[in-house]
Amino acid sequence: MRPIFLACPDGEPTSASTWSGTPLRLLTEIQKRGRLAGSLDTSALPPRIARFCWWIAKHVFGGDLAYAYSPVTRFFRALRLHRKLGRAPLNVLHTGTLGMPLVWRRRDQEHFLFCDTTWHLAAVHSPDLKQLGPVLRRLAEWMDRRSYSQMAHIFTIGRHVRDDLISHYGVSPDRVTAVGTGRGSIEAYAGAKRYDNGEMLFVAKLRAQEKGVALVAAAFAMAVRRNRNLKLTLIGRDEYAHFAAEIPNVAAKAFVSAEELQKAFEKASLFVMPARYEPWGLVYLEALACRTPIVALDRNAGPEFCDNGRSGFLLEREDPEALAALMVEAFADPADLAKKGEHGQRLVREAYRWDRTTDQIIHAMDRVGHD
């Protein structure tokens, strides 16, 4: 059984702020099992190389947004990892494709990928990626396709990503496993909870527009006219303050402590985040852990978390009127909200655990090593 090396193209893997702490939690679980060989932030390029990559992104591909997706940046990240790995026999777990394709593959090293989306899925829904030029979009698609072909096995967070790898990229079904994740920092709530208080919650520190804050605010403005008991709390950014100034019963907070955030999830009767693009969303799992049903768009991981309507509500389209009606109707039946909350918490406790995810990854790695 080979030791495991974690390669992260999004930041320092030992930091809780990198990808909401996902690499850190994987690293910790692998270390508990005595299998960790080391880790590397492949995005941390030497200054001169980084400046060169920024120049290419700006002058060849049209802007700073192109930096991470540029084939030049990705080449130097892959080269840095190759040099770091040396000739040691290892299983290398990548937590994203932006440090690939690999520049070389050594015979005594196997590479694996843990991912939350594909370029194909992201390009459909992400407003940021639509700003990239057509040449870079085609290159990014090719580089991801090439990266997938180099992996001994691919682990996806959600079932929808596994389906896309098989249907769009032609990856063999026996080379892809949906392994889920655990939760973030929010603890499961076991105390008393009311579902007739009209309390709704939206939490997003990054990509607020992609996560649907404007849609939530517009829908709530309609819903609160029909039910004055409804309340909405927005947490995560300074810009949310103007919604509170314009719409009754809205409270906005740019920053809250971990304790206050925990209490907000516990108090809420409905978590509303109809994200147009959210590949996974640990925040949905955190809400469910607190017995708070969720509202999500019918895309990406939304159907998986809502579990056929047993733990939440799916919105078919980005329509403020439809969301407003959903808000009003949800609070017309507090008993149903309580039932969904109970089911959601059971679902999270049973299916979404970091130890379970890591065990599936390591088992598949070891199986590949014996094939």
pLDDT in tens, 118-158: 999 999 888 888 889 999 999 999 999 999 999 999 999 99
pLDDT in tens, 105-122: 999 999 999 999 999 999
**What are the structure tokens assigned to 95, written together?**
């937590």
Euclidean distance between CA atoms 40 and 92, whole angstroms? 11
pLDDT in tens, 31-87: 999 999 999 999 999 999 999 999 999 999 988 899 999 999 999 999 999 999 999
CATH superfamily of domain region 4-181+353-370: Glycogen Phosphorylase B; (3.40.50.2000)
371 pLDDT tier (thresholds 50, 70, 90)? low
Euclidean distance between CA atoms 225 and 325, whole angstroms? 11
Would you list the domain boundaries of the chain? 4-181+353-370, 199-351
CB 271 within 8 A of CB 296: no
CB 229 within 8 A of CB 211: no
Is pLDDT above 60 for 322? yes
Is pLDDT above 60 for 229? yes
Average pLDDT of the segment spanning 244-260: 96
pLDDT in tens, 290-314: 999 999 999 999 999 999 999 999 9
Q: What is the DSSP string of 40-61?
A: EETT---HHHHHHHHHHHHHTS
349 pLDDT tier (thresholds 50, 70, 90)? very high
**What are the structure tokens assigned to 272, written together?**
């509303």
58: burial class by Cβ within 10 Å (0-12, 13-18, 19+)? Answer: middle
Least confident of 159-163, 261-265, 333-337, 366-370: 366-370
CB 144 within 8 A of CB 118: yes
Is pLDDT above 90 for 288? yes
Query: Which of 170, 183, 46, 91 lies closest to 367, judged by CA?
Result: 91
138: burial class by Cβ within 10 Å (0-12, 13-18, 19+)? Answer: exposed
The tally of CA atoms less than 13 A away on the side-chain side of residue 255 is 1
Least confident of 26-30, 47-51, 202-206: 202-206
244: burial class by Cβ within 10 Å (0-12, 13-18, 19+)? Answer: middle
| 294-297 sheet: strands from edge to edge | 250-253, 231-235, 199-203, 270-272, 294-297, 312-315
100-107 LR contacts (CB < 8 Å, sep 24+): 100/9, 100/74, 100/143, 100/146, 100/147, 100/150, 101/74, 101/143, 101/146, 101/147, 101/150, 102/78, 102/147, 102/150, 103/75, 103/78, 103/79, 105/150
Over the chain, what is the mean pLDDT? 96
**What are the structure tokens assigned to 120, written together?**
């194909």
**What are the structure tokens assigned to 130, written together?**
């639509």
Euclidean distance between CA atoms 76 and 50, whole angstroms? 9
Residues contacting residue 86 through CB under 8 Å, at least 6 positions apart: none
Average pLDDT of the segment spanning 172-177: 98
Euclidean distance between CA atoms 200 and 265, whole angstroms? 9
Euclidean distance between CA atoms 283 and 173, whole angstroms? 29
199-351: CATH number: 3.40.50.2000
CB 155 within 8 A of CB 113: yes
Is pLDDT above 70 for 159? yes
Same fold across 4-181+353-370 and 199-351: yes
pLDDT score for 126: 84
Query: Which of 179, 195, 159, 164 lies closest to 95, judged by CA?
Result: 179
Report CA torsion sign: 359, 365, 366, 371: positive
pLDDT score for 370: 56
